[in-house]
Chains A and B, each alone.
Chain A
Amino acid sequence: MEATKAQVTGTLVGEISSVPGGERIRLCIQCGTCSASCPNANRMDHTPRKLIAMARAGMREEVLSSNSMWLCASCYLCTVRCPREIKITDIMHALECLSVRENVSSARTLTPTMYRSFSDFVYSIGSVPEPSFMILFYLLTNPLRAMRMIPMAFSLLTHGRMSIKARRLKPEAERQFKAILDKAEELGGI
């Protein structure tokens, strides 16, 4: 039993450590500077400090299915303040990627769906047409919310801030971009 636990412990921390920016996770002294600096910690299932402790304790499922990393706004305040120079924001990104890969993302936040809608556009055309991305996101989550966004969309349109036509790369550039991303996919992640 103990051996299994130790193995699991090794796994999550090991995976995070192997991601660029995640290597210093083992140096955490649990001082809580990250949690105190985080603008969104109060809404997280587990604060950043606790999340690191849980990851190191091998609580894989609890960590990866929590909403914590999805509420990280990537403001990097924790990263610049950490006395152990741990790149906490990078660790949050690594946890998000793991949670997506294992399909265990928290259902209590719409951020995973939003990020995926965004990334789908990047992959398919190399840029992000804001209106189409928003529409896709609302269709995937709550079409009723889209209705509530109509006044705002109208205001953006009348202020010349919404382009209906998506920016496209030249066909050969788009092919090159796709070839690069497909190769990345083939290489199986970071």
Chain B
Amino acid sequence: MKYYTYFPGCSSSDGGAKAYGMSTEAVARALDVELIELEDWNCCGSTPYTSVDELASFCSSARNLALAEEKGLDLVTPCSACYVILSKTNSYLKEYPELRAKVDEALAAGGLEYHRTIKVRHLLDVFANDIGFDEIASKVKRNLGGLKVAPYYGCQVVRPGPSFDDPESPQSLDRLIECLGAEATPFPLKARCCGGSLIISEEDLALGLIRKLLDSASSNGAECIATVCPLCQTNLDVYQGKVNKKFKTSFKLPVLFFTQLMGLAFGIDGKTLGLEKCIVPAEKILTRYIER
């Protein structure tokens, strides 16, 4: 059994990416990984907050780090957007003494201290590097043979780094998909941007980026896309219809969380994995693998 402090983030806990949280927990159980949710965690700090009030964002992030430090375990999040902010705060508090002094003072107002001893990890890193591909392959009950999956990393899981994988041509998700028996298709845009939250304020711009991604995945033969981030999943799945309308395309690519694919291969039923929450239905391409 391996233990971690778990930071689901707003979206995976009870938001639009609820299926990510559900499948993460189910897959972790199957792998003998105990994810202990950080009690009373707050918003990671988030890119929007960083762009409005940097100090407040660092402090918001640091409260989570301080609470996690009391447990002494690595802090794991499945959300790339949370990951980038929590890791940035963690490393900047070490690198910049003036920032540290201010954040320490703010934390003290809440009766907290942070000694900068914990590590922030992305779930993909934990599965790929702590659990390992052999262990994951050993849990496969239902080989996903023949399924063609585009491995989509997006940005913030590998950048700015230093990261557990290459910032522009990462491989860990490719390998993970293959150890489930599925085929990781070539995906030149695998680490390019989906637009993130700009889909809300700059929809036209983001739809253009999403279109390029869907095009790159489908023209390389993918039947579905696997993502490691709630924002990426939302943009590619929920807005796929808008892309089709705007660009007169006819994409029908299901967009799954990588944990949902793992769960399928482990023989976990579709409902537990939240498969029915995909807007572009995934059942059709997955019928041969779904346990009902």
Q: A residues near B, CB below 8 A?
A: 19-21, 39-40, 43, 69-71, 73-77, 79-80, 87, 89, 92-94, 96-97, 100, 109-116, 118-119, 122-123, 126-130, 134, 137, 152, 155-156, 159-163, 167, 169-170, 173, 176-177, 179-185, 187, 189-190
Contacts and interface: CB of A to CB of B under 8 A. Distances in A.
B139 interface: no
Given A161-B19, A181-B56, 10 more contacts: A79-B159, A80-B161, A123-B56, A134-B200, A156-B279, A167-B13, A173-B42, A177-B63, A183-B108, A190-B99
Most buried by B among A40, A152, A180, A183: A180
Contacts of A113: 201
B201 A126 contact: no
Interface of B: 10-11, 13-19, 39-40, 42-43, 46-56, 58-60, 63, 84, 92, 95-96, 99, 102-103, 105-112, 155-156, 159-161, 167-168, 192-193, 195-198, 200-202, 205-206, 209, 238, 242, 274, 276-279
A77 B155 contact: yes
B51 A180 contact: no
A86 to B, nearest CB: 11
27 contacts: A71-B202, A74-B84, A75-B156, A75-B196, A76-B167, A80-B159, A93-B47, A97-B51, A97-B53, A111-B201, A111-B202, A114-B201, A116-B52, A128-B15, A129-B10, A130-B10, A130-B15, A137-B200, A161-B19, A176-B110, A180-B110, A181-B60, A183-B106, A183-B110, A184-B53, A187-B106, A190-B55
Q: Is the interface of B mostly helix, strand, loop or mixed?
A: helix
Contacts of A21: 92
A129 B242 CA distance: 23
Contact of A114 (B48, B50, B96): B48
Contacts of A189: 53-55
Contacts, number: 211
Contacts of B198: 40, 71, 73, 111
Nearest to B16: A161
Given A39-B193, A128-B10, A119 B16 contact: no
B160 A20 contact: no
A40 to B, nearest CB: 6
A73 B196 contact: yes
Nearest to A169: B40
Given A97-B52, A118-B48, A128-B43, A110 B277 contact: no
A190 B102 contact: yes
Given A40-B205, A111-B201, A20 B60 contact: no
Top 4 A-B residue pairs of the complex, sorted by shortest distance between their CB atoms: A183-B109, A173-B40, A76-B159, A126-B42
